[in-house]
Chain A
Amino acid sequence: MKTDLALSIENLSFSYSGKKALDQVSFDIHSGKCAFLLGPNGAGKSTLFSLITRLYDTREGRIELCGFDIKQHTQKALAKLGVVFQQTTLDMDLTVMQNLRYHTALQGMGRKQALQCIQQSLERLSMFDRRFEKIRQLNGGHRRRVEIARALLHKPALLLLDEPTVGLDVPSRLAIVEYVHQLAIDEKLAVLWASHLIDEIYPDDHLIVLHKGQIKAKGTVNEVLGITNTSIIQDAFYNLTQGVRA
């Protein structure tokens, strides 16, 4: 097992009733790195996320999380994973604390450890004072913060973010972007972030450009700019996806 390899995808293909949604996709994400998955609608981003989270079955290709094959060692692999889905997955009628306690129970954490991790996680996102409020009473930005806090409770090695900032105002969006980047550095967390919003990408991040189920480019921001002979990510994306604006 390569020690700092959090996610490894090799020759992954997937079809819906004969129509290819992913075609020979391969890439790696190392600990402490933030990788942005860019692609227009229908590029295959959601399919890729469903395969990594084992909501769909991997039929062609291979996915490994921290060295564990998702198909053969599903539970061990999923234990290393934290996810924030595009749609909110919080229970609106429960409080912040109840939602997080439910997650810690599913992760098998004891009461004392769970409460300690919840406090730590919520404090980092300035949400601890709101722990007894129902999710329904929170605004979109705060709900997202709770979802990120929840995804990190069990100290995953890989964090999957499926367009987590969509619909948020600029300050909330920037706060989340900054927080996740800092977390990758501080906690050696690997992040795979699907997004349409190019201003969320930092210069040190990695890019994976997906279009019509195929990887068009991958590497650091500078490497992708070099491949496409462009100076800004937006132009690189435009070139790679043949006219589809991000």
Chain B
Amino acid sequence: MNMLHYWRAMWGIIGRELWRFITQRERFISALVRPLVWLFVFAAGFRSALGLAITPPYETYILYEVYITPGLIGMIQLFNGMQSSLSMVYDREMGSMRILMVSPLPRWFLLLSKLLAGTGVSILQVYVFLVVAWFYDIHAPWQGYLSILPALILSGLMLGALGLLLSSFIKQLENFAGVMNFVIFPMFFMSTALYPLWKMKESSVPLSIIAQYNPFSQAVELIRFALYGQFNQTAFIYVFVAFLIFMSTAIMGYNPSKGMMMKKGGA
């Protein structure tokens, strides 16, 4: 098995995912509408209710819309990660996952390629969202639009790996509703996506502690700092370690001799 084989297979998987995303117009629109509704409706309503102090990376008072923009970027990637997970469960039920799994490449590589493909799709969505936000007067320094890219890759990989991990445990498509209730919503609401930690601490200390150690919060902070051209080392290490843990557990979950596939009776 040579390197060219790996290269071709990886681009085959990424190309297929991107093509599917672009041609599924409803999926593209709904992926964009969700964060935009939060930005235009929720943030506008909360603007007067929440007073925000100057905290890094911000150097001046900011509007609430500006504060939640990185959180909504995280939201796009979180939902995209779960969407990929959903499509893995669907593909497994429908059988098309088998074609991927019987190809002559290591399973970890196939899963990593699938993850990269999902991350690529989420980055595409984020940049479209940033363009729309720009017209809504949410501007970051121009270099921020470039420095956010590596942060988006890492956070996309981490959230995608979480989705992958969940998909290895979910037996049926119907069980996916549980993921929404028990993973996506708690992860999003108990994070720094909508409120800063200090603000949360004022009303609930336990909640602020949960939010602080929530990997999604760290992903949001990594994105927030990167959008302003700054590097948040703690968030980077946290997100990177979380990615490694989620990914290695997902690979084990898809391993025919160790994972959940035996118990589920199918790949």
Contacts and interface: CB of A to CB of B under 8 A. Distances in A.
Contact of B256 (A54, A98, A101): A54
Given A78-B102, A89-B95, A98 B19 contact: yes
Interface residues of B, number: 35
A244 interface: no
Interface string A89-120: 11101100010011111111110000000000
B60 interface: no
Contacts of B13: 102, 105-106
A60 B265 CA distance: 17
Given A54-B256, A57-B257, A107 B94 contact: no
A210 B1 CA distance: 35
Interface string A71-87: 00011101101010101
A79 B1 CA distance: 10
A202 interface: no
B45 interface: no
Interface stretch (B2-10, B75-83, B233-241): B2-10
> SS class of chain A's interface: helix, strand, loop or mixed?
loop
A108 B5 contact: yes
User: Which of the listed residues B2, B6, B101 has the most CB atoms from chain A within 10 Å of its own CB?
Assistant: B101
Interface residues of A, number: 34
B253 to A, nearest CB: 13
User: Which of the listed residues B4, B19, B98, B261 has the most CB atoms from chain A within 10 Å of its own CB?
Assistant: B98
Given A55-B261, A94-B20, A106 B267 contact: no
> SS class of chain B's interface: helix, strand, loop or mixed?
helix
Contacts of B23: 93
A222 interface: no
Contacts of A132: none
Interface in B236-267: 256-257, 261-262, 265-267
Given A55-B256, A55-B267, A89-B95, A106 B100 contact: yes
A150 B6 CA distance: 19
A220 to B, nearest CB: 29
B20 A105 contact: no
User: Which of the listed residues A50, A56, A59, A102 has the most CB atoms from chain B within 10 Å of its own CB?
Assistant: A102
Nearest to A87: B95
Nearest to B267: A55
B16 A103 contact: no
B8 A56 contact: no
A99 to B, nearest CB: 9
25 contacts: A55-B98, A55-B102, A55-B256, A56-B262, A57-B262, A74-B104, A75-B105, A78-B104, A83-B98, A83-B102, A87-B95, A89-B95, A91-B20, A93-B23, A93-B24, A102-B13, A103-B103, A105-B8, A105-B12, A105-B15, A106-B13, A106-B100, A106-B105, A108-B8, A109-B8
Interface of A: 16, 50, 53-57, 59, 74-76, 78-79, 81, 83, 85, 87-91, 93-94, 98, 101-110
Interface of B: 1-2, 4-6, 8-9, 11-13, 15-16, 19-20, 23-24, 94-96, 98-106, 256-257, 261-262, 265-267
